[in-house]
Structure 1
Amino acid sequence: MRVNPKKISLCLSILLILSVLAGCSQNKNDIVKELEKQELSQNTENYPMEVEDDFGNKVTIEKAPEKIISLAPSHTEILFSLGLDAKIAGVTTYCDYPEEAKTKEIIGDYTAINLEKIIEIDPDLVLIYGPGDEESNNRLKEAGITILGFMPESIDQVIDTIKKIGEITEKTEEAKEITDKMIEKRDSIAEKVKDKDKVKVFYEIWHDPLMAAGPGSFMDELMTIAGGDNIAKDAEGQYPQFDIEQLIERNPEVYLTSKDSEEKTVESIKARPGYEDITAIKEGNIYILDPNIVSRPGPRIVEALELVAKAIHPELFK
């Protein structure tokens, strides 16, 4: 087990204080003050901290953030998983997991962010998905607000993002515990399917026009790890349009998608013109997955991997 030198230092300090107190008559207030001083010293030694986000944006974090705003559901899930719920000062309307996220102040959605409210809250840190809007970013920076953008596109990148946010917020141990479990689950699933024949899989991002999960997307990675052969792996771009003729020709054995509308059902997919000749359709291997799990690159990405693996190789998960 890895020993934390900070904790050793703090414990030795406490023992030293107690031994001194045993030989004199210091009162309880002296003990409390000394312990608080030691804890403050331990909590501030990592700051100021230089941080660079996924888009080359370099910032200096002066102290552990006390008020954090998340502008993406995946980032919100990361913050909650790290035990930072008390420090979350604002989220978007789409931040609905865990359930406690719905109790946080809403400062906007994907299409419109209330910059005035963010400035009024005066957070120590705003986490955005992707590079963000340049004009909005500049306005927040002018108000002295620190912004960091992350956009992981693989399990390894999600793990790196969790670790980086954990480091920024003094939750390195929690981040390590979370990511170790993620790695263990990913590797366990990969081990389970490694000797199975590859299964031809298609993942539908959108249906009109038909769009696929292409090379470089995290769903492409999930299908590959789960023992699938993505029939759109050679398409142009991460989320390309995909011709119906090509879909029929490549004939996937498993058809995956997520519940992006109430109208999308297994029956509605079966009823699409030309689909009746596809093996996945004929054999009933159509899976409509939970979008909140499979479309968010956060701690639950390994749960998404398991859902995909169960769809591709159900016989291994009985």
Structure 2
Amino acid sequence: MPAGRSQKLAKQAASIAVKTAALKSVAAITAALTISATATNFAGAANAASGNEPKQAAGTHLVSFAPSNTELLYAVGAGDKLFGVCSYCDYPDAVKKKTVVGNFIAANLERLATVKPDKIVCVSGQEALAGQLSHNGYKVLVLKNDHLSDISKNLKDLAALSNSTARGDQAAAKFNTCITELKEITSKASVKPAVFYCVWPQPLLTLGKASYLTEVITVCGGDSISKNLESGYPHFSMEKLVLANPDVIVMPYECKDHSFLEKHPWSSLKAVKNKRVYFLPDPPHDGLARPTLRLTTGLYWLAKKVHPELSTQLDSWSARTQSTLAPFMPPAN
């Protein structure tokens, strides 16, 4: 395979891993799934190097290879201890001044050597990268981001790592309170609509147990038709989709201008007939794309789609939530 083609596929695969809700091409999907399937080969080495234990000596020179970790580090007030990021880290605006030491799946070892990190943080799905980094002598911490509860846990772990425990505990507690309040609102709904979250239409991919987005649907008062599937982003047959006939369908932004919904069997689905197919916002405004505090904006968006009858209560919740979390969410610009 020509080098240019190989680099292009790697970049596409990394984009998928960063934005799990917005897959862009079949080639990218294949590459991302291959990375996921082989990553566990390196997990043992990565965990051995890091001990997977955040309560070690606080880091003063940190590097983040995941946008979600970068956002959470800023949320706990550790932006000044972050000296290197990956090319997909774009929030908050201050991150643009940091040294880019690689992308989501590969490190630039020369640049990394100039940063001299005492700890590198990765996320689940980056075990292969973590293994390679630990092999090169770096201490690596791999954080999970498979469940909604991982957000508050990661806030605390990153705060402990950067010697900002009190702020991390406070941010985690406030986030958990916001989620509890949303659950209380949506639990009052008289129905729980069946929801199909389409990660990508061809091949048809959706959400499973190992995706935090499955729990997001539940919190928003919906019932994911794929919630019992084991993997995070499994294949789903069109036959099963027709049989389930969901009330609500969430589609990737990239498919907004496609016409496949007008064709059979998509056109036969209840959600399509009732005009309850919703396309995710464009990537910069997609609040569901990353498991960070900004996920609350995505929760608000989705909850209003699933339960429009609760709009008044959800509007009030969103206003309270944004005010509550504002001290931990620096502006993008």
SS of structure 2 residue aligned to 1:227: coil
Residue in 1 aligned with 2:132? 136
1:168 paired residue number? 161
Alignment-mate amino acid for residue 195 of structure 1: K
Greater CA deviation, 71-80 or 180-189? 180-189
1:15 aligned partner: none
Q: Pick from 256, 269, 274 the counterpart of residue 265 of structure 1.
A: 256
**2:225 is the counterpart of 1:234:** no
Contact kept, 8 Å, 1:215 with 1:235, in 2: the verdict is yes
Identity of aligned residues (%): 28
Offset at residue 156 of structure 1 (A): 1.4
Aligned partner of 2:197 in structure 1 is: 203
Which protein shows a greater Rg?
A: 1
The yes-or-no answer on 1:193 pairing with 2:186 is: yes
Give the aligned partner of residue 269 of structure 2. 278
The AA in structure 2 aligned to 1:176 is: D
Does the aligned pair in 1 maintain the 2:287–2:296 contact within 8 Å? no
User: Alpha carbons of 1:257 and 1:102: their partners in 2 closer, same or farther (altered >3 Å)?
Assistant: farther
Residue ranges of structure 2 left out of the alignment (5+ in a row): 1-45, 313-333
Q: Specify the alignment match of 1:120 in structure 2.
A: 114
Q: Could you say what secondary structure the match of 2:205 adopts?
A: strand
Preserved contact between residue 54 and residue 161 of structure 2 (Cα < 8 Å): no
What secondary structure, in the 3-state scheme, does the structure 2 residue paired with 1:293 have? coil
Q: Normalising to structure 1: TM-score of the pair? A: 0.75
Structure 2 residue 288 is matched with structure 1 residue 297: no
Q: How far apart are residue 60 of structure 1 and its match?
A: 8.5
Aligned to 1:256: 250
Once the two structures are superposed, residues 112-155 of structure 1 have per-residue CA deviations (whole angstroms, 9 ceiling, x without a partner) of: 310221122101211111224365223332xxx32111122112
Residue 153 of structure 1 is matched in structure 2 by 146
Q: How many residues align?
A: 260
1:233 alignment partner, SS class: coil
1:184 corresponds to which residue?
177
Q: Give the direction of change, closer, same or farther, for the CA distance of 1:55–1:208 in structure 2 (3 Å limit).
A: farther
Does the 8 Å contact 1:210/1:242 carry over to 2? yes
1:83 pairs with 2:74 = no
Give, as a single letter, the amino acid of the residue that structure 2 aligns with 1:224: T
Higher relative contact order (CA 8 A, sep 6+): 2
Distance change >3 Å, CA 139–CA 272, structure 1 → 2: farther
Residues 252 and 168 of structure 1: is their aligned pair in 2 closer, same or farther, counting only changes over 3 Å? same
Q: Deviations over 1:211-258 (max 9, x none)?
A: 111223211111112111111123342211111121122111111133
The structure where helix makes up a greater share of residues is 2
Alignment partner, residue 212 of structure 1: 206
For the residue of structure 2 that corresponds to 1:117, the secondary structure is helix
Structure 2 partner of 1:29: none
Change (3 A) 1:266 1:218: farther
Q: Structure 1: give runs of 5+ residues left out of the alignment.
A: 1-53
Q: For residue 283 of structure 1, report the CA deviation from its aligned partner.
A: 1.7
Deviates more, 1:69-78 or 1:292-301: 292-301
Distance 1:180 1:300 in 2: 15
Is the counterpart of residue 317 in structure 1 residue 311 in structure 2?
Answer: yes
Match runs of 1:36-55 below 5 Å: 55=47
Distance 1:272 1:239, change over 3 A: farther
Aligned CA distance change for structure 1 residues 102 and 287 (closer, same or farther; 3 Å): farther
What amino acid maps onto 1:310 in structure 2? K
Q: Does structure 2 conserve the Cα–Cα contact (< 8 Å) formed by 1:266 and 1:288?
A: no
Give the aligned partner of residue 23 of structure 2. Answer: none
1:99 equivalent in structure 2: 93
Report the equivalent of 1:11.
none
| Structure 2 contact 130–140 (Cα < 8 Å) conserved | no
> Which letter does structure 1 place at the counterpart of 2:117?
P
Alignment of 1:6-21 (within 5 A): none
- The CA deviation at 1:111 is 3.5
In the TM superposition, residue 166 of structure 1 has moved relative to its aligned partner by 0.6
Contact 2:118 2:139 in 1 (8 A): yes
TM-score, length basis structure 2: 0.72
Shift of residue 163 of structure 1? 0.4
Contact 2:206 2:234 in 1 (8 A): yes
